Structure 1
Amino acid sequence: MAEFVTLETSDDHPGVGTIALHRPPMNALNRQVQRELAAAAEEATLRDDIKAVVIYGGPKVLAAGADIKEMTDMSYAEMSKVAGRLQADLGAIAEIPKPTVAAITGYALGGGLEVALSADRRIAGDNAKLGVPEILLGVIPGGGGTQRLARLVGPAKAKDMMFTGRFVGAEEALSIGLVDEVVAPDEVYNAALAWADQFRDAATVALAAAKKAVDEGLGVDLTTGLKIEEHLFAGLFATEDRVIGMKSFVENGPGKAKFTGK
């Protein structure tokens, strides 16, 4: 049983899974936490009863970064063996083929921000502080931060954050597109659940296809991206949900289909 990361569901929000971090006081992301995070993401992927996922670190912090004490004495040879695994584990949320949202209260720094960057959406409390301060340790983000941050906010803003290591407040994060919504700290988790609730009865195969088309398309040229879209679009015509959705539209108008997720 996982010690620091759990995948939780509740009767109040059926279809929504919460990947919860709980390693007090700051949810430092040591190797065990990283492995447990990846395992929770895999479980969320495989469970048919989970339609959307919230990532939450509790009311005070999402995660204040990697466990630096664990890295202090590592050599180049040692890190070169695990760097790929570090990147994959902190980016595991991105591999969930379902809508994901990071609920950010307090600090989301270094690896903590990299976890949040792996989600499809980010909701922050107005007390949130976000950053990639690895430069202050003589290194750079190694859990996907250089790539996902630049794609999200643009290279100039990403470089400013990485070069200086400064913390970005909630309002600035909202203005540069680093987060998508800012609410009171005690409303962060509820706001994330409300967003995730939208997808409990959605066409899950189509949602996965939309996510895959965008994510894979961002890494290729437009022509290749259009081919990815073409393939995924055509594939949905083999699903029950496509039949249900189109028949319901013709007979009852939009937004009334009862999908099966198949």
Structure 2
Amino acid sequence: MSVVCVGSLTAPGRGGLARSGIGMSLQTVLTSLTRGGLGSTWGRVTSLAVSRRRCSNISGPTEIHVQRLQGENSGIATVLMSRPHARNSLGNVFVKQLEEAIEDLHQDKSLRVVLFKSQVKGIFCAGADLKERAEMSNTEVGHFVHKLRSLMSNIELLPMPTIAAIDGYALGGGLELALACDLRVAASSAKMGLIEVTRGLLPGAGGSQRLPRVVGIGMAKELIFTGRRIDGKQAMSIGLVNDTVAQNDLGDAAYQKALDLAKEILPQGPVALRMAKQAMNKGIEVDISSGMAIEEMCYAQVIPTRDRLEGMAAFKEKRLPHFTGE
């Protein structure tokens, strides 16, 4: 029995930290951007959902671990997934520990990039734990899938850029987890697919909504209707992943490439990164004129920052900027 101290999630509506761009009026979006100044909507959304701290007892080994890198890579965190006996499938303990890890990441203002990596060779995440699922009642299945959907939305709502390093199978809920990240890097040998229809189901943790937004509605329908599995090269050709690399002997080529990408992001202005992410995530859900208004409001929050002044000074003095997130 391991004891993990976490903050409880009190959902502001059925979706918990639900994706805040969908189904919201432009006025609601703009209001959320302007209230509280530089604190940003991300911080306020988190504060709404995290109401108190508590300690929970979780049976079983640690399946999720967050590694915060040090030294010149300080500001990068890696979420390590380790459930080897079940191919990192989304079981109760795995999901609970991932929920708690994501909540902690939401509150860590020192982080600039978060990566998701498997510690199981050849596997990213195999999707649903069908053995656990078979023992659930219909009602329990519905509740659990709702929890998964909220978890993926919480990953998407992380304020800093996120990268999924797909070094192996990412099927069903595993691919839905990767889709909730901002960027995806895959080994060329990795296998990906929303295969739920082959089990008489449909993607239930956001896949039916996020995949069309990434690859287009026609390609998404083809992949979901057929339950097709594709490799890293095919995934890159349709825009499902940002980059693909040949696998190495250690089985972590995608992670190494994702880490290189994270290092490119790391020195950039953290406030600017968070506002840029917010502008894109919210703007993509509305018409372009409304999106321009969202961009303007996000830009307005960057203007009074010390980081903006540092960027201008560094340009004038012909040196690299040193951003502090203020």
Normalising by the smaller structure, the TM-score range is over 0.9
Q: Extract structure 1 runs of 4+ deviating beyond 4 A.
A: none
Q: Distance in 1 between matches of 2:142 and 2:245?
A: 40
Q: Which residue in the other structure is 1:20 paired with?
A: 80
1:1-262 to structure 2, matched below 5 A, reads: 1=4, 3-11=62-70, 13-25=73-85, 26-58=87-119, 59-186=121-248, 187-249=253-315, 251-253=316-318, 256-262=320-326
User: Sequence identity, in percent?
Assistant: 37
CA contact (8 A) 1:202 1:261 kept: no
Task: Report the 3-state secondary structure (helix = DSSP H, G, I; strand = E; otherwise coil) of the residue aligned with 1:185.
Answer: coil
Amino acid at match of 1:18: T
Amino acid at match of 1:47: D
Q: Distance in 1 between matches of 2:126 and 2:303?
A: 44
Q: Distance in 1 between matches of 2:164 and 2:241?
A: 9
Unaligned runs of 5+ in 1: none
Amino acid at match of 2:222: D
Task: Report the 3-state secondary structure (helix = DSSP H, G, I; strand = E; otherwise coil) of the residue aligned with 2:258.
Answer: helix
1:18-77: CA deviation from partner (whole Å, max 9, x where unpaired): 001000131011132122222222222322332111101133210011112222244443
Q: Which residue in the other structure is 2:48 paired with?
A: none
Alpha-carbon distance, 1:234 to partner = 0.8
Q: Distance in 1 between matches of 2:189 and 2:313?
A: 47
CA contact (8 A) 1:106 1:127 kept: yes
CA contact (8 A) 1:37 1:92 kept: no
Amino acid at match of 2:76: V
TM-score by length of 1: 0.93
Q: Distance in 1 between matches of 2:69 and 2:277?
A: 25
Task: Report the 3-state secondary structure (helix = DSSP H, G, I; strand = E; otherwise coil) of the residue aligned with 1:140.
Answer: coil
Change (3 A) 1:83 1:258: same
Alpha-carbon distance, 1:113 to partner = 0.3
Amino acid at match of 2:159: P
1:151-190: CA deviation from partner (whole Å, max 9, x where unpaired): 1001111111111111111111110011111112232211
Amino acid at match of 1:3: T
Q: Distance in 1 between matches of 2:287 and 2:146?
A: 25
Unaligned runs of 5+ in 2: 5-60
Stretch deviating more after TM superposition (14-23 or 45-54): 45-54
Alpha-carbon distance, 1:16 to partner = 1.1
CA contact (8 A) 1:34 1:90 kept: no
Amino acid at match of 2:77: G
Q: Distance in 2 between matches of 1:166 and 1:184?
A: 21
Q: Distance in 1 between matches of 2:80 and 2:195?
A: 23
Q: Distance in 2 between matches of 1:126 and 1:214?
A: 28
Q: Distance in 2 between matches of 1:72 and 1:219?
A: 36
Q: Distance in 1 between matches of 2:115 and 2:186?
A: 13
Q: Distance in 2 between matches of 1:219 and 1:78?
A: 31
CA-based RMSD of the aligned residues comes to 1.8
Q: Distance in 2 between matches of 1:202 and 1:36?
A: 30
Q: Distance in 2 between matches of 1:21 and 1:106?
A: 13
